[in-house]
Amino acid sequence: MSDPLQEAAYAVLLPAFAELELDDAVRRHLQRGGVSILLGETRDEYLARRMSFERRRAETQGHFIRIAETAAACAGGPVLIAVDQELGGIQRLHHLVPGMPSAESLKDLSCEEIEARSYEMASSARVMGINLFLAPVVDVVTGVNPWLHNRNLGADAAQVARIACAFIRGVQRAGVIATAKHFPGHSQTEHDPAVARATVPGSLVALSDGLEVFRKVIAAGVQAIMPGPAVFPALDPLQSASTSEAAIGLLRDRLGFDGLIISDDLDAVSILRGNSLADTAVAALRAGAHLLLVSSHAGLDDLAQAIVDAVAAGRLDAQRLLGAAEKVRAHAQASRAQVEAGLYVSYPFAGGHMTRRVVR
């Protein structure tokens, strides 16, 4: 495919799937310009905040190595291979990597200890071809929040920032991109945004603790940030943070974040808010997101075409789309450059290749 706009439309899509095989839709996505995939979990696993017993028993490092290699072969180049690997929440890689302490136990560890543990865990993930964590969760939860129950680091902003920054330093030192989520901080929300419209009440002053944590993780060098799915009336009474120009503008312009902006799941009821997935994707790009999290079963070809059509209709600036795609490609390319620069070496293993960090 030689149409730059169509290639860019695929490049800004991050399709999630629960299996460890690339179906035809995901293969086409990668062959037509896509450069990222998310190895996700089932709805039951998401709700349980843990991988199923069957998955934990059956999955091996070899499965991840093969899917990473297949994805790169389909794309003809480097690919971002993402997983949820949260602290105290969803841990997609379960026993395949060294475990992290519980959220409560992390409070008793020094920054150096957290960074070391995070580095060890992320290094094992990098060996399998994983180069993007949709973690850590840095929301400072001070009220009712069923969505982030058992997924957050607590109500103390300073402690959340301390743990998150140490985690980010360790993960990124191992060659894995960390993603701080969910901007600007979901301190409380009565509903699960995956299944209902969610709102975070309060004034801009009420958001200050959450914003301070994001300032600190940006200062720590976090490479990616995910705006959340709820509406923040103090910023934008109509759009979720993932589709709001005001929310993403705050992140980019006032907090000075110049890294990768990844939307939350666009299938979430609180993000869709009665709109079509195609219109929601265009809104996220127009707001300033670079990479759009969607289901691999969402009709990736139709979604990419809808993005191109939005450019043709004048509803999305062509340079905004091309710039977002280039941002995603640059992060994927940087991951490969680490290998080529000698930070990692590859060698044959069990029918595939493993990547090991060179200690210098």
CB atoms within 10 A of CB 349: 14
Non-local (6+) Cβ contacts of 104 within 8 A are 88
What pLDDT is stored for residue 340 in this prediction? 58
Residues in the chain: 360
Nearest to 268 by CA among 284, 250, 254, 252: 284
What pLDDT is stored for residue 320 in this prediction? 98
CA distances (Å), origin 278, targets 74, 270, 318: 25, 15, 16
pLDDT digits (tens, 9 = 90+) for 270-302: 999 999 999 999 999 999 999 999 999 999 999
**Strand pairing class (352-357; 344-349):** antiparallel
CA distances (Å), origin 283, targets 56, 89, 152, 232: 37, 29, 28, 16
CA separation for the pair 202, 198 (Å, rounded): 13
Non-local (6+) Cβ contacts of 235 within 8 A are 184, 204, 207, 241, 244, 246, 247, 250
Domains in the chain (CATH in brackets) are 4-354 (3.20.20.300)
The predicted model scores a pTM of 0.93
pLDDT digits (tens, 9 = 90+) for 330-340: 999 997 666 55
What pLDDT is stored for residue 356 in this prediction? 44
**pLDDT < 50 regions, the chain:** 1, 342, 344-360
What pLDDT is stored for residue 346 in this prediction? 37
What pLDDT is stored for residue 352 in this prediction? 37
Tokens representing 129? 């071809």
CA separation for the pair 178, 347 (Å, rounded): 25
